[in-house]
Amino acid sequence: MRLDKFLKVSRLIKRRTVAKDVSDQGRVWINGREAKASSTVKVGDELTVQYGQKVVTVRVERLVETTKKDEAASMYELVKEETRQREDKLEW
């Protein structure tokens, strides 16, 4: 599944266009590597997303084409959530 679609369907990001923009800005990583919106996401991958000062890391648990709002969180497991002091671009 494409990264931008996974972010939207899992509701980590509300809109696919926003997911595409965030990915293209270099604020999403798959398994520690910077990812583009068209990157492929697989079960078991670890995604890191930078939302302003907040950085969230999740592990992909399942892939589905559509899901209901209350079931979206079952697509991933939260690994880590942290707040950064400044809004610098995260570097690996």
Say if 91 falls within a structural domain.
no
Instruction: Check which CATH number belongs to the domain holding 66 and give it.
Output: 3.10.290.10
92, pLDDT greater than 60: no
pTM of the entire predicted model: 0.85
DSSP collapsed to 3 states, the chain: CEHHHHHHHCCCCCCHHHHHHHHHCCCEEECCEECCCCCECCCCCEEEEEECCEEEEEEECCCCCCCCHHHHHHHEEEEEEEECCCCCCCCC
Amino acid at 74: S
Tens of pLDDT, residues 34-53: 999 999 999 999 999 999 88
What mean pLDDT is predicted for residues 13-36? 95
- Tell me the residue range of the domain where 56 lies: 3-83
Q: Provide the β-strand partners of residue 33.
A: 30
Asked if residue 47 belongs to a domain, the reply is yes
Total number of domains constituting the chain: 1
Q: Where does the pLDDT of residue 91 fall: very low under 50, low under 70, confident under 90, or very high at 90 and above? A: low
For residue 92, being part of any structural domain is answered with: no
pLDDT at 68 over 70: yes
Residue 52: the pLDDT is 86
